[in-house]
Amino acid sequence: MSAPLLEVRGLAKRFGSLRALDGVDLTVPHGGLTALIGPNGAGKTTAFGCIAGAQRPSGGSIRFEGIEIAGAAYHRVARLGLVRTYQVVQPFAEMTVLDAVTVGALLRRPRVASARDFAATTIDALGLGAKSATIARSLTIADKKRLELARALATEPRLLLLDEVMAGLTPTECAAAVELLRTIVARGITIVMVEHVMEVLMPLADHVVVLATGRVIFDGSPSDAVNDPGVIEAYLGRP
């Protein structure tokens, strides 16, 4: 397999005169976990939005498994196997956990009965099994994040874009989430994740990309990232 799973070239997104993304290049190989980090306002969520198809990029190319998807409809990108989660959870508030995850599972399993079974398995795997009949609105924030992850996983994606799934979790919940991510990667699903909690991310990531003011300023291994002067400057400001 020569082509990378995801290849982003010169991705740009402008809001009026503001350049949220200013020529982002990003290559994600098959398998493993890529961390996308950067200070607030660097454009990480916007990049996710453009790659997943929620927002239309102003320029550049996005190839997923060799197919150009820049500007493609949101649901089409999901069908190709590229699914994202939201930083601010977007549940189907009035649905039960099982129903909400079933919506995701229906993407590959048109029959409701088999989608429901698969959704139940996914929910169990994420440790939400006891709450499958709970209405999404009344879940705790940690469970809402898990629900969001379960719904995305139920679509059987090849590439998952996770936007701050750890934010707001307690240290114990974080540790559990790390284990979870490891098992997802072990199942052959590639992950790109945006995260602020660096200590969590560094041992987990195979590959780190740092974004600052709409540009990629670093692309390499986690150990190099923490020593890179450019990265340190972007986070801490000029010494």
Partner 1 sequence: MTVRAHLIALGIVALTLTALALGYHNAFILNLVFAGLIFAVLGQSWNWISGYAGQISFGHALFFGCGAYASALFAARHGSPWLALPAGAAVAAILALLVGFPCFALRGHYFSIATIAVAAIAEIAATNLAALGKANGFEMPILAPGIATLQFSDKGHYVLVALALFVFAQLATLGLERSRLGFYLRAIRLNQEAAASVGVDARAAKLTTYAACGALAALAGSLYAQQALYVGPEDTLGLPISIAIALVGVVGGLSTVWGPALGALVYVALARYGGALLGGQGHGLDLLLYGGLILVIVSWRPDGLAGIGRSIRRALERREARAAP
How far is the C-alpha of 36 from the C-alpha of 44, rounded, in Å?
Answer: 7
What is the chain's alpha carbon radius of gyration, rounded to the nearest angstrom? Answer: 18
Using CB under 8 A, which of 3, 67, 73, 232 touches partner 1?
Answer: 73
The reply to whether 99 sits near partner 1 by the rule CB under 8 A is yes
Considering CB under 8 A, how many residues would be counted as binding partner 1?
Answer: 33
- Whether 197 contacts 178, CB under 8 Å: no
Closest by Cα among 69, 62, 33 to 189: 33
Using CB under 8 A, which of 97, 115, 191, 216 touches partner 1?
Answer: 115
Taking the complex as a whole, the smallest distance from the CB of residue 143 to partner 1 amounts, in Å, to 16
From 124-132, 151-159, 200-208, 217-225, give the range in contact with partner 1 by CB under 8 A: 151-159
Using CB under 8 A, which of 3, 67, 112, 130 touches partner 1?
Answer: 112
The reply to whether 6 sits near partner 1 by the rule CB under 8 A is no
Q: How would you class 221 by CB atoms within 10 Å of its CB: exposed for 0-12, middle for 13-18, buried for 19 or more?
A: exposed
Kindly identify the residues of this chain, within the stretch 159-218, that bind partner 1 according to CB under 8 A.
none
Using CB under 8 A, which of 2, 40, 110, 239 touches partner 1?
Answer: 110
Closest by Cα among 216, 212, 214, 220 to 238: 212
Closest by Cα among 56, 2, 58, 57 to 27: 2
The reply to whether 57 sits near partner 1 by the rule CB under 8 A is no
Residue 78 Cα distances to 84, 105, 143, 230, angstroms: 8, 12, 23, 34
Q: How would you class 10 by CB atoms within 10 Å of its CB: exposed for 0-12, middle for 13-18, buried for 19 or more?
A: middle
Q: What are residue 121's DSSP bridge partners?
A: none
Report the interhelical angle of 141-153 vs 171-186 (nearest 10°): 10
How far is the C-alpha of 128 from the C-alpha of 144, rounded, in Å?
Answer: 10
Amino acid symbol at 169 = L
Nearer to partner 1, 107 or 125 (CB): 107
Taking the complex as a whole, the smallest distance from the CB of residue 198 to partner 1 amounts, in Å, to 27
Taking the complex as a whole, the smallest distance from the CB of residue 123 to partner 1 amounts, in Å, to 15
From 10-18, 88-96, 176-184, 192-200, give the range in contact with partner 1 by CB under 8 A: 88-96
The reply to whether 135 sits near partner 1 by the rule CB under 8 A is no
Nearer to partner 1, 98 or 225 (CB): 98
Using CB under 8 A, which of 43, 57, 91, 214 touches partner 1?
Answer: 91
Using CB under 8 A, which of 4, 92, 117, 217 touches partner 1?
Answer: 92
Summarize as ranges the residues that interact with partner 1 (CB under 8 A): 52, 54, 73-76, 78-79, 83-86, 90-95, 99-100, 102-104, 106-107, 110-112, 115, 151-152, 154-155
